[in-house]
Homo-oligomer: A and B are copies of this chain.
Amino acid sequence: MAKAGATSKATEKGSDRSDTTRRALVIAAIESLKKDGFTRASARVIAQRAGVNQGLVFYHFGSVTNLLLAALDAVSEERLQTYGNEVTKVVSPGELVDTAEGIFKNDLEAGYITVLVEMIAGSFSTPGLGSEVAARIQPWREFAQSSIERSLGDSPLNGVLPSKDVAHAIVALYLGLEMLSHLDGDAAPALALFAHAKQLASLFEAMTAPATTKESS
């Protein structure tokens, strides 16, 4: 299935060549998903973008679908690594909303979510792709859940709030907003929501903060 493993310190020069080609194809695949969409992300188009022969897609990845999944993996990994650090610093709902807004803007600009949405879209057409994509969304879901729980800290709400379900909703909302933003060519409605969320977060903090300091009786 995968070709992972000992490629870094190999003695053959052939591995380097292979690796270069693979990397070029993955980058070109990401670019194609962003700019052309799933439907037009064909072996021919991707290979041309990478400057290599079209047949190499099948030699190195077995199928176009596998290459696209590799592209999604690459994006997913880079994204989680970048944002993972940012989010560990978050200790309140207000900060979480701020961070989420920054991530949303960055995702929109970088086209990270576009890649994911395209793959989801393609999943409806390509048999068997659905479960593969679903498995790759799982880390994002867990990322959302742990972020929520961390931001709530030791608030009493932490035990009551169904963080798993909320995380599911957040991911769904995130994907939906991204789709609509692209469709309308306008991110304003989505960004307006972050402003409202910020107000809600500060309202929440104002409601819960006094409860811990004012412990009379």
Interface residue ranges, A against B (CB under 8 Å): 36-40, 114, 117-118, 120-126, 130-131, 133-134, 137, 162, 164-165, 168-169, 171-177, 179-180, 182-185, 189-190, 192-193, 196
Q: Which residues of B contact A193 (CB under 8 A)?
A: 165, 168-169
| Interfacial chain B residues near A183, Cβ < 8 Å | 120, 123, 130, 133-134, 137
Given contacts A134-B183, A171-B176, contact A165 B40 (CB under 8 A): no
- Contact assessment for B180 and A171 in the assembled complex, using a CB-CB cutoff below 8 Å: yes
Contact B125 A117 (CB under 8 A): no
Residue from B38, B117, B192 in contact with A39 in the complex, judged by beta carbons closer than 8 Å: B38
9 A-B pairs besides A38-B39, A172-B173 with CB distance below 8 A are A37-B124, A37-B125, A38-B124, A121-B122, A121-B124, A137-B180, A162-B192, A168-B190, A171-B180
25 A–B contacts from the bound complex (CB under 8 Å): A39-B125, A40-B125, A114-B124, A118-B124, A120-B183, A121-B121, A121-B122, A123-B182, A124-B182, A130-B183, A131-B185, A134-B183, A137-B183, A164-B189, A165-B192, A168-B189, A168-B192, A169-B193, A171-B176, A172-B173, A172-B176, A172-B180, A173-B176, A176-B177, A176-B179
Q: Which residue of B lies closest to A130 (CB)?
A: B183
- For the complex, give the distance between the alpha carbons of A133 and B192 in Å: 22
Q: How far is the CA of A36 from the CA of B121 in the complex (A)?
A: 12
Q: How far is the CB of A55 from chain B (nearest CB, A)?
A: 22
Q: In the bound complex, do residue B38 and residue A125 qualify as a contact, i.e. CB atoms below 8 Å apart?
A: yes
Report Cα–Cα, A185/B127, bound state, in Å: 13
Docked Cα-Cα span, A130 to B38, in Å, equals: 14
Pick from B40, B117, B171, B177: contact of A121, CB below 8 A: B117
**Whole-angstrom CA separation of A180 from B176 in the bound complex:** 10
